[in-house]
Amino acid sequence: MATTTPKLISDKNEMRNWSRSMRAQGKLIGFVPTMGFLHAGHLSLVSQARSLCDVVAVSIYVNPGQFAPSEDLSTYPSDFQGDLRKLAALPGGVDVVFHPHNLYDYGHNSGDVAGEGGGPAASCVDGDGSGHETWVRVEKLEVGLCGKSRPILFRGVATIVTKLFNIVEPDLAVFGKKDYQQLRVIQRMVRDLDFSIKVIGAEITRESDGLAMSSRNVHLSPEERKKALSINKSLLKAKSAAEDGEVHCEKLSNLVIQCIAEAGGRIDYAEIVDQNNLEKVEQIKGPVVFCIAAWFGKVRLIDNMEINLSIGV
Amino acid sequence: MATTTPKLISDKNEMRNWSRSMRAQGKLIGFVPTMGFLHAGHLSLVSQARSLCDVVAVSIYVNPGQFAPSEDLSTYPSDFQGDLRKLAALPGGVDVVFHPHNLYDYGHNSGDVAGEGGGPAASCVDGDGSGHETWVRVEKLEVGLCGKSRPILFRGVATIVTKLFNIVEPDLAVFGKKDYQQLRVIQRMVRDLDFSIKVIGAEITRESDGLAMSSRNVHLSPEERKKALSINKSLLKAKSAAEDGEVHCEKLSNLVIQCIAEAGGRIDYAEIVDQNNLEKVEQIKGPVVFCIAAWFGKVRLIDNMEINLSIGV
C-alpha cells in the first residue's frame, strides 16, 4: 500500500476523507503524531505503526497549545524537508504526512457558532482571540512530574491529540515511552473518552552513548551533552541497585540526584512512581518507572527507566 | 431503512459496529442523546434527525457525571418502556436505541492502562474509585447562566457527549434550544475538538399553555405548574417590549423578574445574553437570547427566548 513518497495533506477535511476512504477499503490505519525535527526515536514509532497497520499517517505539527508563553515554542527546532526525506527513506515509507498550518484557527463563521473568533492565531494560550476555549483535562495524571513545572503541558497535549484523533480517525496510534507521562495521559484519555483507538507505547531510542533521543538535544553544547549522559548512567545505576535489593525509593532517588548534580545538571524532579497511575512510591513493590527531568544549561531534558522487579506484592 | 421497532443496544462496541456498518453502506447517521423520560420535545428532535438522515440512533442514559451530589440524580424520572413505545410510534421510528448501563465503569484491565479503577460506579463524581478522570471543559461558555449554580454541569455534559460521539460516531446530532447553553457548549466543543459532526439546534417544544416541555415538569404540583406559566408569559412580554423599542436589558430583565417573583417563583437567573458567546448584553444590538432559571417549589425550571430585532449594528 505504502509508497516511498508520502502524500502531503494540510487540510483537515482532506485528511479525514483520506482516512475514511482507507477504512472503507478495510485498511487498518496507524498514526504517529509528532512535532517534527524527526530523529531515530520518532522513526522507530513510525516503523512500529508500519508493522502493525496497513497504512500509516504521520502528523508534523508544533502545538502552540502545550507551550506556556515563557517556554520554547519560538525556538523549537524544525526541518520539514529533512523530516520528509527521513520518512520517505523508511522501509515501506509512510502513506500520508499531515502538516496543518494552524489547528486553532477556525476562521470567521467556522463551526456552528458564528461570529466571534477567527483569524490566524500565533498561540492559542495568549488570549489572542482565536476563540479556542475547549480543553481536555486528565485531572490526576496531568498534575505530577512534568505537570508541576509545566502546568498547561498535558492540557495542551490531551487537547491536540483529541483534535488529531478526530481529524485522522486512526485505529492505532504509537507514542514513545520517552514521554512516559504523556503516554499515560493519552491512554487514560482514550479509555475515559471512549476513543476507539489502540494506543501503543514504544521503547525509548537512545544514542550509542545512552542519551535518550530528543529534538531538544540539538540545543546542547558539546560539553552540556557530555554532562547530560549522567541521566542515563545514573538511571542504570539505580535500576541495578534496585535489582540488587535496594527497594527504598528515597535512597535510589538520592543516588540519581547526586550523580546528576555532580555532573552539573539542575534537577527539576527525580521520582520513582507507579507505572500505571504515576503516583509516587516509597518502596518498590510492583512495576515502577524512575522519571527524571533536569536542566543542562538552557535545555530541559527528560528521561525515564522502567524497573520491573520480580517481587510479589 | 427504519423499522418501527428500534434495535436495542447496550454495549459500546456493538453500538460502534452498527454505526460503522451503516457508514460503510453510505448511510448518513443521525443521533439524539437523551436522558430518557421522553416528551414531545425530545420526539421533535428525533423527528428532525429522521428528516435529515438515513438512520437515527437515540441514546437513553442518565449521566451521573453532570449531577453534583446535592442534585436530583436519584429522583430523575425514568420510563424506559414508555420511551421505547414513543420512539417506535414515531413516523419512521428510530433504528437504534443505545441504552448503556454505566459509561464510567471501565472494569479491571480495561483500556490500555491496567490496574487501578474498575468495578461498578454509582456516580463518577463521588470519588468512588471508578478511575474516570478525564473531563472536557469549554472554559468560557461553561461558567455563566446555569454554570453559576451548577458548576460541574457543563463539564459533565461536554464529557458525556464526547464519549457518546466517540461511541455512536454520528454525522449529525440534534440538541434542543431549551437547553440553550448546552447547545452552545456542544457546538463550541465540536468546533474546537474537530469532531466531524453537524450539530443542529432545534426549537423549544411547549405545552399548549406555553410551558416549555421538560422531564422535570412531572415533579410540579398542579399549583406550581400554574405559577410556572409566568416564565413563558413574562418572556413573551419582554420580547414584545423589545420589539416595541425597549432595548435596555436591565429594564427587560426587571419586567421578567418581577412577573415571576409575583407568581411565586424564585429566580436563579434572568439574563439577556449574546446568542453566540452567551455574554451578558447591556443593550440589544444584535441577536440575543433571554435565558431564565427559576425554582417553583423543589423544581428548578429553565426556559429561554431568542430575540432577533431588525436593527443594524
**What ipTM is given for this predicted complex?**
0.92
Give the model's confidence band at B71: pLDDT under 50 very low, under 70 low, under 90 confident, else very high.
confident
Chains A & B: contacts with CB separation below 8 Å: 124
Distance (Å, whole) CA B272 – CA B287? 10
Is the pLDDT assigned to residue B116 strictly greater than 80? no
CB contact under 8 A, B140 and A159: no
**Least Cα separation, residue B208 to chain A (angstroms):** 31
CA distances in angstroms from A157 to A39, A46, A66, A147, listed in the order given = 20, 19, 6, 11
Predicted local confidence at residue B127, as pLDDT? 53
Three-class DSSP labels, chain B: CCCCCCEEECCHHHHHHHHHHHHHCCCCEEEEEECCCCCHHHHHHHHHHHHHCCEEEEEECCCHHHCCCCCCCCCCCCCHHHHHHHHHHCCCCCCEEECCCCCCCCCCCCCCCCCCCCCCCCCCCCCCCCCCCEEEEECCCCCCCHHHHCCCHHHHHHHHHHHHHHHHCCCEEEEEHHHHHHHHHHHHHHHHCCCCCEEEEECCCECCCCCECCHHHHHCCHHHHHHHHHHHHHHHHHHHHHHCCCCEHHHHHHHHHHHHHHCCCEEEEEEEEECCCCCECCECCCCEEEEEEEEECCEEEEEEEEECCCCCC
CB contact under 8 A, A110 and B140: no
Is the pLDDT assigned to residue B115 strictly greater than 90? no
Distance (Å, whole) CA B138 – CA A171? 27
Average pLDDT over residues A136-162: 96
**Least Cα separation, residue B257 to chain A (angstroms):** 29
Give the model's confidence band at B310: pLDDT under 50 very low, under 70 low, under 90 confident, else very high.
confident
Give the model's confidence band at A262: pLDDT under 50 very low, under 70 low, under 90 confident, else very high.
very high
**Mean pLDDT estimate for chain A:** 92
Predicted local confidence at residue B108, as pLDDT? 58
Give A98's strand partners: A9, A59
Predicted local confidence at residue B118, as pLDDT? 35
Is the pLDDT assigned to residue B205 strictly greater than 70? yes
* Residue among B116, B135, B192 whose CB faces A132 most closely: B192
Q: Are A236 and A218 in contact (CB under 8 A)?
A: no
Percent of chain B at pLDDT exceeding 70: 91
B42 is catalytic: yes
Task: Report chain A residues whose CB lies below 8 A from the CB of B196.
Answer: 16, 166
**Least Cα separation, residue A227 to chain B (angstroms):** 34
Predicted local confidence at residue A24, as pLDDT? 93
Q: Are B32 and B173 in contact (CB under 8 A)?
A: yes
Helix (H) or strand (E) holding A226: helix A222-243
Average pLDDT over residues A15-29: 97
CB contact under 8 A, B138 and A137: no
**Least Cα separation, residue B244 to chain A (angstroms):** 26
Q: Give the nearest chain B residue to A111 (CA atoms).
A: B191
Average pLDDT over residues A150-160: 96
CB contact under 8 A, A166 and B133: no
Q: Give the nearest chain A residue to B134 (CA atoms).
A: A138
**Least Cα separation, residue A303 to chain B (angstroms):** 20
Is the pLDDT assigned to residue B238 strictly greater than 60? yes
Sign, CA torsion A177/A180/A186/A189: positive
Is the pLDDT assigned to residue B129 strictly greater than 60? no
Task: Report chain B residues whose CB lies below 8 A from the CB of A196.
Answer: 16, 166
CB contact under 8 A, A106 and B199: no
Higher pLDDT, B310 or B116: B310
Task: Report chain B residues whose CB lies below 8 A from the CB of A65.
Answer: none
pLDDT of B143-200, one tens digit each? Answer: 999 999 999 999 999 999 999 999 999 999 999 999 999 999 999 999 999 999 999 9
Which residues of A are known to be catalytic?
Answer: 42
Q: Give the nearest chain B residue to A163 (CA atoms).
A: B193
Name the nearest CA neighbour of A131 among A152, A109, A150, A151: A109
Predicted local confidence at residue B41, as pLDDT? 97
Out of B39, B42, B99, B108, the active site residue is B42
CB contact under 8 A, B159 and A193: yes
Q: Which structural domains are found in chain B, ordered by start?
A: 7-202 (3.40.50.620), 215-307 (3.30.1300.10)
CB contact under 8 A, B136 and A141: no
As given in the structure block, the three cell numbers for residue B79 are 420510563
* Residue among B24, B133, B167 whose CB faces A194 most closely: B167
Average pLDDT over residues B273-290: 97
Is the pLDDT assigned to residue B140 strictly greater than 90? yes
Task: Report chain A residues whose CB lies below 8 A from the CB of B188.
Answer: 111, 113, 133-134
CB contact under 8 A, A111 and B191: yes
pLDDT of A270-289, one tens digit each? Answer: 999 999 999 999 999 999 99
Average pLDDT over residues B215-235: 96
Is the pLDDT assigned to residue A225 strictly greater than 60? yes
Predicted local confidence at residue B125, as pLDDT? 53
Give the model's confidence band at A1: pLDDT under 50 very low, under 70 low, under 90 confident, else very high.
very low
* Test the B interface: residue of A19, A133, A172, A174 with most B CBs within 10 Å: A133
Is the pLDDT assigned to residue A116 strictly greater than 80? no
Give the model's confidence band at B107: pLDDT under 50 very low, under 70 low, under 90 confident, else very high.
confident
Least confident of A167-181, A239-253, B118-132, B223-237: B118-132
* Residue among B16, B133, B159 whose CB faces A196 most closely: B16
Beta-carbon contacts of B208 under 8 Å, excluding residues fewer than 6 positions away, are none
- Identify the contact set of chain B against chain A, taking CB-CB distances under 8 A: 12, 16, 24, 103, 106, 110-116, 132-141, 158-159, 162-163, 166-167, 184, 187-196, 198-199, 201, 276-277
**Mean pLDDT estimate for chain B:** 92
Higher pLDDT, B48 or B111: B48
Give the model's confidence band at A107: pLDDT under 50 very low, under 70 low, under 90 confident, else very high.
confident
Is the pLDDT assigned to residue B251 strictly greater than 70? yes
Average pLDDT over residues B67-74: 89
CB contact under 8 A, A138 and B138: no
Give the model's confidence band at B114: pLDDT under 50 very low, under 70 low, under 90 confident, else very high.
very low
Predicted local confidence at residue A72, as pLDDT? 83
Average pLDDT over residues A201-226: 96
Predicted local confidence at residue A111, as pLDDT? 42
Is the pLDDT assigned to residue A112 strictly greater than 90? no
Give the model's confidence band at B110: pLDDT under 50 very low, under 70 low, under 90 confident, else very high.
very low
Predicted local confidence at residue A274, as pLDDT? 97
Is the pLDDT assigned to residue A250 strictly greater than 70? yes
Is the pLDDT assigned to residue A130 strictly greater than 80? no
